[in-house]
Amino acid sequence: MSADGQPAPAPTALDERAAEAERSVTALFGGSLGGLPLTHLASIAHPAPTGPGPLGRFRGTWHYWWQAHYLDAVVDAGLRALRTGDVAAARARAALGDRLLATIRLRNRARWTNDFYDDMAWLALASGRLQGLHAQIGRTARSRRLRSADRHLTEQLRAAHTDDLGGGLFWSRDRDFKNSPATGPAALHLARLGGTAEARRLVDWLYARLWSPASGLVLDGIRLRAGTEVLVPDVWSYNQGTVLGALVTLGDPGSLGRAAALVAAVDERLTVEVDGMRVLRTHGGGDGGLFTGILVRHLALAAGTAALDEASRATAARLVTGTADALWRGRGSLPVAGRRDPTAFPVEPGGHPPAPPLELSPQLQAWTVLEAAATLA
């Protein structure tokens, strides 16, 4: 039975793929922080590049925003469990999400904030989704921490939204760069909170200053150099994803029209051919290893938005499932002593799994893509 007492469907093959990605990423990268009890965090690589001593993970490279996407994937797994009627598994994922959120704050020097507004926007989105998972399973534990995260992070995002350059969010506390990576997720977060007018102002600014009529895609940002505006015209997949998410969440006719055009532009310009099918291209490792996963998450959201036109929904669904299929076909086993061999996924569709050490970001991206595909089953 599902959480609302209705008969639940049996897990599909796509659910099982997502479950395997969850098992593998958690086995390879998940663990406590410095051996501290009741903590959980993802290492940035496998084997873990920890520093010397029991607190090595405190001293290693800190990727705040990678952890936010790890939290998002844990929430995806909880929602998948609910779809198939496994409420106990959903509660376990929610509890893991609570532990992860608390550990992110602990690792971040016992605070929610940092120097980058896009980082904080990602965690605001993920913690908001965790709160939604708790609501669906009727579990309110840790709600005080979730409210604290929401309050502090939302305040920071609103403080970064200024009239400089006509609007938009600054990327960092240096306040010399306004860009899509901060403005897009902030717009989506505010739209989910019901701040429709503020979210729409952010989206309108993106379309006025950073949308390219030539490509139909959103560009990266505008730098301020000695009082001069300098356009950064790079095109990244994840910027299209968060803008698309904000548009379908706003849901008014103008936003839905923009969303349809954006889906078409992504299909035309951000895809490659793999085994005779157009799938989304990826952006290598490092931070780029998450970019396409973020786009896929929001394409799946668009595909499930009934108010969006049928052709756009079908295109979005095709891109999600095609990319997921290509990553799944390229998987391989990674021998790990003492446990069932986890699955390793390729960095790009049509590729092969990299040799160890494995980087977290492309493996987490594959998990995100497979979870997104499972929602469309």
Claim to verify: residue 186 and residue 148 sit in the same structural domain = no
Counting the structural domains of the chain, the total is 3
Query: How far apart are alpha carbons 299 and 317 in whole angstroms?
Result: 7
Q: What are phi and psi of 216, to 5 degrees?
A: 80, 10
Q: What is the DSSP letter of 156?
A: H
User: Is 221 contained in some domain?
Assistant: yes
**pLDDT at residue 61 in the model:** 85
Rounded mean pLDDT, 49-60: 52
Mean pLDDT of the chain: 94
What share of the chain in percent tops pLDDT 70? 93
User: Is 350 contained in some domain?
Assistant: yes
Claim to verify: residue 260 and residue 145 sit in the same structural domain = no
User: Is 13 contained in some domain?
Assistant: no
Picking from 237, 234, 287, the residue whose alpha carbon sits closest to that of residue 64 is 287
Rounded mean pLDDT, 254-259: 98
Per-residue model confidence as pLDDT tens digits over 122-178: 999 999 999 999 999 986 555 789 999 999 999 999 999 999 999 999 999 999 999
User: Is 11 contained in some domain?
Assistant: no
The model carries a pTM of 0.95
Band the pLDDT of 339: cuts 50, 70, 90.
Answer: low
* End-of-domain residue from the set 100, 133, 160: 160
Per-residue model confidence as pLDDT tens digits over 3-37: 556 667 778 999 999 999 999 999 999 999 989 99
Q: What is the DSSP letter of 167?
A: S
**pLDDT at residue 49 in the model:** 75
Indicate whether 47 pLDDT > 50. yes
Per-residue model confidence as pLDDT tens digits over 259-304: 999 999 999 999 999 999 999 999 999 999 999 999 999 999 999 9
User: Comparing 227 with 15, which gets the higher pLDDT?
Assistant: 15
User: Is 121 contained in some domain?
Assistant: yes
User: Comparing 258 with 227, which gets the higher pLDDT?
Assistant: 258
Residue 297: exposed, middle, or buried by beta-carbon count in 10 A (0-12, 13-18, 19+)? buried
Judge contact between 146 and 88, C-beta under 8 A: no
Indicate whether 52 pLDDT > 50. no
User: Is 296 contained in some domain?
Assistant: yes
Domain span at residue 260 reads: 247-377
Claim to verify: residue 212 and residue 266 sit in the same structural domain = no
